[in-house]
Amino acid sequence: MTVRLTVAQALVRFLAAQYTERDGRRQRLIAGCWGIFGHGNVAGVGQALLQAAETGDADLRYYLARNEQAMVHASVGFARMRNRLQAFACTASIGPGSTNMVTGAALATINRIPVLLLPSDFFATRAASPVLQELEDPRSCDVSVNDAFRPVSRFWDRINRPEQLPSALLAAMRVLTDPAETGAVTLALPQDVQAQAHDWPEELFTERTWYVPRPVPEPAALARAVEVLRSARRPLIVAGGGVIYSEASDALREFAEATGIPVSDTQAGKGALAWDHPLSAGGVGSTGSPVANALAREADVVLGIGTRYSDFTTASRTAFQHPDVRFVNLNIAAFDAGKHAGAALVADARAGLEALTGAMAGYHVGEEYITGFREHDARWQREVDEAYHLGHQPLPAQTEILGALNEFMDDRDVVVQAAGSMPGDLQMLWRARDPKQYHVEYGYSCMGYEIAGGLGARLAAPDREVFVLVGDGSYLMMATEIVTAVAEGIKLTVVLVNNQGFGSIGSLSESLGSQRFGTRYRYRNPDTGLLDGGVLPVDLAANAASLGAEVIRTRTVKEFGVALEQARASDRTTVVYVETDPLAPVPSSQSWWDVPVSETSALESTQQARAAYAAAKRAQRLYL
Ligand SMILES: Cc1ncc(C[n+]2csc(CCOP(=O)(O)OP(=O)(O)O)c2C)c(N)n1
Ligand SMILES: [Mg+2]
């Protein structure tokens, strides 16, 4: 039996019939389809989505975004919140609509979060080439802007004929649901092919379940890992995002309690173990806590779980200074398990931790190791309290705003962030209680993720309040999805932190001898020729109101707290606006980040910074 449908209709019907299952829980794989229509998709995928909604023969809800990059962010926020068991599709028109998604694709792939991208392409027949928005390549007629998705996708295909669709779809679903391979999956759809009819076998549309595996470690690999771990006197766990996606928090806690090994976390792993657990050491690396960083410096064995060891986690390979430090890497991706010449334990985080707990029976670190770091942590927590309650004047410090929000939030509330000075302050200071509370996109650290990602997170977890923290720079880059939140009735609380420019890059610039050059939002000054004139007459709060949000302006930490109460009580998307002092003090992570400074320079500030850089660089290591 066959059924006659267009390629786009077949695609929609197929996507609506895909499911994932893990631990006996089954859910739809493709939860819906974000889109922005143009001539490339309006009559193809657009018609198919309309027909699905009108006839009810395929359940795939369409969500209209305001920016294609943002719709990929929203999809990522959603899939991350759902631990990668569910994802969105995104349809875009040809040309700019599609290339707008490239940044989102890179973000998804770097963070290992599934998203199905459906960029439209010029005619497969080339009947009318060059069509509007078609890039012509004099060397080949087979190139389109969608080839730019190849390096940022985990699977990429172009459907030039209807017959190619079934195998491409199966391959795409496999990659989306494979926890080791997942990321952006791109199917480029020529505009004529989308509308082309074909007789499809009925079986293409029967419900299909993709079983998300929990691979167990190979016994020999487990034995090798255990041998290294058992030799450890000062071991440290680095918990990454893989712990959370695998829902391995309980297994992590049980392993830590059984062995006494302290747990540090990465940006993606924060909350895997509650901050006030006696074995929690806080964030590790460049923006981590000095407690975890002191443990890291002397650790003889590092057990990385579900981490890809970014430079922020390893402090650009200076965090671990024990001369004989060895790594054990529990990771579902062999690629990550092999890093730093570690003993590779390729397995699901939960399955691997359960195996390790059994195999490590009888092992426990010395009590003095734990009491030593507990004392350090107690001193550090007092510093965090101070940073949370600085009383900075006249404008509050950012750490006070984060503190007020942290103390205000319930355990199940979610905080979303991505770029600027906040991710660092958050990793160092935030006290996360729930594995899904801390949602900071720091793989791509993409300005503009915040509001769109928060929208996706809230769509995934309507029972949780979502608090988006966004800097003025990120807000200006992509505030547009406030409109989508309003239209969809998806309530967000957006905390808009205005420090008149790039606080983060400003202080980085200063520390590297570049004098905050070009990092403030100011008028160009005719006297200096630089952007160091007066403050700009920009009213971001008024801007947010114009997009349909409720807006509360606050000037003090106290007013900020009251506004948070109001925002929580409201069922409308609310922007809480606050100005902070970008020069307020922040505690030190006692760590480093490798950002090269000019080797030769006519500026004294740069020369000094270069000397400091060269000295710090000497601590950088190869872990072989
Ligand atoms: C899309 C994108 N462009 C550039 C950067 C580099 N960058 C990182 S933080 C930052 C400034 C962010 O400004 P804002 O959102 O106001 O946060 P603040 O640094 O003031 O806390 C820039 C330009 C980035 N991360 N993402
Ligand atoms: Mg700013």
Q: Ligand 2 mean position to 468 CA, how many Å?
A: 15
Residue 490: name the closest of 77, 17, 28 by CA: 77
| pLDDT tens column, 498-556 | 999 999 999 999 999 999 999 999 999 999 999 999 999 999 999 999 999 999 999 99
pLDDT of residue 129: 94
Q: Check pocket membership of 420 for ligand 1, CB cut-off 6 A.
A: yes
Q: How far apart are CA 419 and CA 421, in angstroms?
A: 7
Handedness of CA 19, 306, 330, 281 (dihedral sign): negative
What global pTM score does this model have? 0.98
Given the CA of residue 498, which atom of ligand 1 is nearest to it? 16
Extended beta strands in 37-74, E state: 62-64
Which numbered atom of ligand 1 lies nearest the CA of 445? Answer: 25
499: Cβ below 6 Å to ligand 1?
Answer: yes
* Ligand 2 geometric centre to CA of 506 (Å): 9
- Any ligand 1 atom below 6 A from CB of 12: no
Give 285-298 pLDDT, tens digit per residue: 999 999 999 999 99
476 alpha carbon – ligand 1 mean position (Å): 10
- Residue 420 CA to ligand 1 center (angstroms) comes to 4
108 lines ligand 1 (CB under 6 A): no
Strand order in the sheet with 280-283: 280-283, 263-265, 235-239, 301-305, 326-331, 343-346
DSSP string, 411-441: TT-EEEE-SSSHHHHHHHH----STTTEEE-
Looking at the CA of 421, which ligand is closest? 1
- The reply to whether ligand 1 has any atom less than 6 angstroms from the CB of 474 is yes
Please check whether residue 269 is in contact with residue 243, taking contact to mean a CB–CB distance below 8 angstroms.
yes
Q: What is the pLDDT of residues 454-490, one digit of tens each?
A: 999 999 999 999 999 999 999 999 999 999 999 999 9
Is residue 235 over pLDDT 90? yes
496 alpha carbon – ligand 2 mean position (Å): 9
Ligand 1 within 6 A of 478 CB? Answer: no
Q: Residue 299 in contact with residue 327, Cβ under 8 Å?
A: no
Query: How close is the Cα of 446 to the center of ligand 2, in Å?
Result: 14
Supply the pLDDT for residue 57.
86
Name the residue with the closest Cα to ligand 1, atom 7. Answer: 420
Confidence band for 350, pLDDT divided at 50, 70 and 90? very high
Q: Which ligand is nearest to the CA of 473?
A: 1
Predicted confidence (pLDDT) per residue in 64-101, tens digit: 999 999 999 999 999 999 999 999 999 999 999 999 99
Asked whether 419 lines ligand 1 (CB < 6 A), one says: yes
Query: Looking at residues 315-329, what average pLDDT do you find?
Result: 98
Q: Are the CB atoms for 276 and 406 separated by under 8 Å? A: no
Q: Which among 95, 93, 23 has a CA at the least distance from the CA of 65? A: 93
503 Cβ closer than 6 Å to some ligand 1 atom? yes
What's the mean pLDDT when you consider all of the chain?
97
Ligand nearest to C-alpha 450: 1
Averaged pLDDT for residues 124-152: 96
pLDDT on residue 388: 98
Specify the residue for token string 């807006």.
551
Using CA positions, which residue lies closest to atom 4 of ligand 1? 447
Q: Name the nearest CA neighbour of 275 among 296, 249, 298.
A: 249
> What does the pLDDT read at residue 69?
98
- The whole-number pLDDT of residue 91 equals 98
Mean pLDDT, residues 376-393 taken together: 98
> Could you give phi then psi for residue 520, rounded to 5 degrees?
-110, 145
**Pocket flag, ligand 1, residue 505 (CB < 6 Å):** yes
Whether pLDDT at 140 is above 90: yes
**Ligand 1 centroid from CA 43, angstroms:** 38
pLDDT tens digit sequence for 352-375: 999 999 999 999 999 999 999 999
Residue to substitute in 502, 514, 517 for testing ligand 1 pocket (most ligand atoms within 8 angstroms of CB): 502
Amino acid identity for residue 303 in this structure: L
Q: Please tell me if the CB atom of residue 422 comes closer than 6 angstroms to any atom of ligand 1.
A: yes
Instruction: With H, G, I as helix, E, B as strand and everything else as coil, classify residue 14.
Output: helix
Q: Across 144-193, where does the E strand assignment appear?
A: 155-158, 184-190
Residue 500 C-alpha to ligand 2 middle, in angstroms?
5
Amino acid 30: pLDDT: 98
Minimal-distance CA residue to ligand 1 atom 3:
447
Query: Which pLDDT tens digit goes with each residue over 609-623?
Result: 999 999 999 999 999
- Nearest-atom number in ligand 1 for the CA of 398 is 21
Nearest-CA residue for atom 17 of ligand 1: 420
Tokens of 147: 């080839």
Ligand index nearest the alpha carbon of residue 500? 2
Between CA 523 and CA 533 the distance in angstroms is 5
For tokens 């006839």, name the residue.
55
Mean pLDDT calculated for residue range 177-198: 98
Ligand 1, atom 16: nearest CA belongs to which residue?
Answer: 473
> Which residues, other chains included, contact 597 with Cβ-Cβ below 8 Å and sequence gap of 6+?
512, 513, 606, 609, 610, 613
| Residues with Cβ within 8 Å of residue 491, at least 6 apart in sequence | 458, 466, 485, 570, 571, 572, 573, 574
